[in-house]
């Protein structure tokens, strides 16, 4: 598969198109598993989810079951969730707290830091059986974190996480620096199985173009909550998009859905106004007018290549979309919030989150209906090219991975697809 087989960039004519086979072809799917999901940094969890010694999560990250733990010394680990004896799934629980993990088959027991402690019986095993930890739990090749977000990599030769994140670090900083107490994942999560290709979900999260048409009901709702006129909402709805390097990309806009961190709207109630206004004043004083304004009055959607999504909008969420087949996807959404947030503001945050996200939200069902329709359109059409040309300027950008434009253009998707094309074509392997 050579670069250009599925992504067609004609900069002279101002056209950027992607063959529909990229969303449904079995060969593409298999190459993505090997060249993307076995080589890129993939989100596994947030530090707040394993806050105490002994806390653990089990997650499927790509094709791998992972046991994400914090040991008694406070060190964080990610192991393959599999007994090293006969391969039994070690923990079926989604989360919990445990001093040890015991396999139910033969009683092999492992510490939270992965060491094999016992084989159920010592008979038949010599004193050097587990020399050098040969039967300890198998750690994933790489596990690193940035600002509390943990990522793993199945390639031991991969570049470090900070280098991989490139310009996405600044956007993560903009989110984390909104609080002095740190962020935490709130209880609960949303999980979906969707009949579409994983890339449709990922790229949708950085597509501002569809907002006004597909989510018109939510925009009307947001306008009413903010007490704005249509003219005021239109005047505020401006912004920019950009590639952030290495395939990461996003957009920022001035829509006012009401943000519990620092943008009060009448729907929040007068009792919350002094709390939220005080937070806004503190952030402006601490970070200055320019950065403080971005934190408090702008919303942002970011996609970390390949499939980690951070949305800092009416609520704060982190999302993933994992391929199960060329045309089926597992999607997850977690809500984030400042640690120690005022209960009244936390209530608003959760209400905001559910108002937009999930099966009962204003906007989420719109998106998932569209994913189904695109999948159906692809399945029932002749050879087709999807178009991402909006906002293209004559000539090749100095760096297509850093292309910028209006928030409702498609520069951000072009940056992501350019990297996807390079990775599958073998031009990029993310190794140091």
Is there a cis peptide before residue 306, judged by omega within 30 degrees of 0? yes
Round to whole Å and give the CA distance between 312 and 257. Answer: 11
SS (H, E, C) the chain: CCCCCCEEEECCCCEEEEEHHHHCCHHHHHHHHHHCCCCCCEEEEEHHHHCCCCEEEEEEECCEEEEEEECCCCCEEEEECECCCCCCECCCCCEEECCEEECCCCCCEEECCCCEEECCCCCCCCCCCCHHHCCCCCECCEEEEECCEEEEECCCCECCHHHHHCCHHHHHHHHHCCCCCCEEECCCCEEEEECCCHHHHHHHCCCCCCHHHHCHHHHHHHHHHHCCCHHHHHHHCCEEEEEEECCEEEEEECCCCCECCCECCHHHCHHHHHHHHHHHHHHHHHHHHHHHHHHHHCEEEEEECCCEEEEECCCEEEEEEEEEECCEEEEEEEEEEECCCCHHHHHHHHHHHHHHCCCCCCCHHHHHHHHHHHHHHHHCCCCCEEECCCCCCCCCCCCHHHCEEECCCCHHHHHHHHHHHHHHHCCCCCEC
Beta strands 100-102 and 95-97, pairing class:
unpaired
Task: Using alpha carbons, select from 218, 189, 413, 219 the residue that is nearest to residue 318.
Answer: 189
Structural domains of the chain, with CATH: 46-153 (2.102.10.10), 166-425 (3.90.380.10)
pLDDT in tens, 149-178: 999 999 999 999 999 999 999 999 999 999
Residues of the chain with pLDDT under 50: 1-2
- Spatial strand order in the sheet of 76-80: 76-80, 64-70, 55-61, 95-97
Task: Using alpha carbons, select from 29, 27, 8, 3 the residue that is nearest to residue 18.
Answer: 8
Round to whole Å and give the CA distance between 148 and 316. Answer: 15
Q: 34: Cβ–Cβ under 8 A, 6 or more apart, which residues?
A: none
Do the beta carbons of residue 309 and residue 320 sit within 8 Å? yes
Do the beta carbons of residue 197 and residue 327 sit within 8 Å? yes
Beta bridge partners of 118: 109
Beta bridge partners of 42: 152
Task: Using alpha carbons, select from 364, 368, 333 the residue that is nearest to residue 195.
Answer: 368
């Amino acid at each position: 598969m050579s670069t250009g087989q599925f992504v067609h960039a004609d900069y002279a004519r101002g056209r950027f198109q992607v063959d529909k086979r990229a969303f449904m072809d079995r060969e593409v799917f298999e190459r993505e598993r090997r060249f993307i999901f076995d080589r890129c940094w993939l989100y596994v969890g947030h530090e707040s989810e394993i806050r105490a010694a002994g806390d653990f999560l089990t997650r499927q990250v790509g094709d791998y079951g992972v046991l994400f733990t914090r040991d008694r010394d406070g060190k964080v680990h990610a192991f393959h969730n599999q007994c090293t004896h006969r391969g039994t799934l070690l923990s079926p629980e989604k989360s919990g707290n445990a001093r040890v993990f015991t396999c139910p088959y033969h009683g092999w027991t492992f510490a939270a830091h992965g060491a094999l402690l016992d084989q159920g019986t010592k008979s038949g095993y010599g004193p050097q059986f587990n020399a050098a930890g040969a039967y300890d739990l198998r750690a994933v090749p790489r596990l690193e974190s940035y600002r509390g977000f943990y990522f793993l990599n199945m390639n031991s030769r991969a570049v470090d996480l900070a280098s991989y994140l490139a310009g996405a670090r600044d956007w993560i900083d903009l989110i984390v620096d909104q609080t002095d107490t740190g962020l935490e994942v709130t209880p609960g999560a949303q999980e979906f199985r969707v009949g579409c290709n994983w890339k449709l979900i990922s790229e949708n999260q950085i597509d501002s173009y569809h907002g006004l048409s597909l989510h018109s009901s939510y925009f009307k709702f947001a306008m009413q909550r903010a007490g704005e006129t249509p003219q005021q909402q239109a005047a505020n709805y401006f912004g920019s998009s950009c590639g952030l390097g290495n395939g990461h990309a996003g957009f920022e806009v001035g829509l006012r859905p009401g943000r519990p961190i620092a943008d009060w709207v009448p729907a929040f109630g007068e009792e919350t106004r002094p709390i939220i206004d005080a937070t806004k004043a503190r952030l402006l004083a601490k970070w200055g007018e320019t950065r403080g304004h971005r934190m408090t009055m702008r919303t942002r959607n970011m996609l970390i290549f390949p499939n980690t999504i951070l949305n800092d909008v009416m609520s704060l969420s982190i999302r993933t979309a994992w391929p199960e087949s060329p045309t089926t996807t597992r999607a997850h959404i977690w809500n984030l919030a400042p640690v120690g947030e005022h209960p009244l503001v936390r209530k608003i945050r959760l209400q905001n989150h559910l108002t937009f996200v999930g099966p009962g939200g204003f906007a989420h069902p719109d998106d998932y209906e569209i994913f189904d329709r695109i999948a159906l359109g692809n399945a029932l059409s002749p050879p087709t090219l999807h178009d991402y040309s909006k906002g293209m300027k004559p000539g090749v950008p100095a760096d297509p991975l850093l292309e910028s434009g209006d928030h409702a253009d498609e520069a951000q998707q072009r940056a992501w697809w350019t990297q996807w094309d390079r990775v599958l074509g073998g031009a990029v392997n993310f190794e140091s």
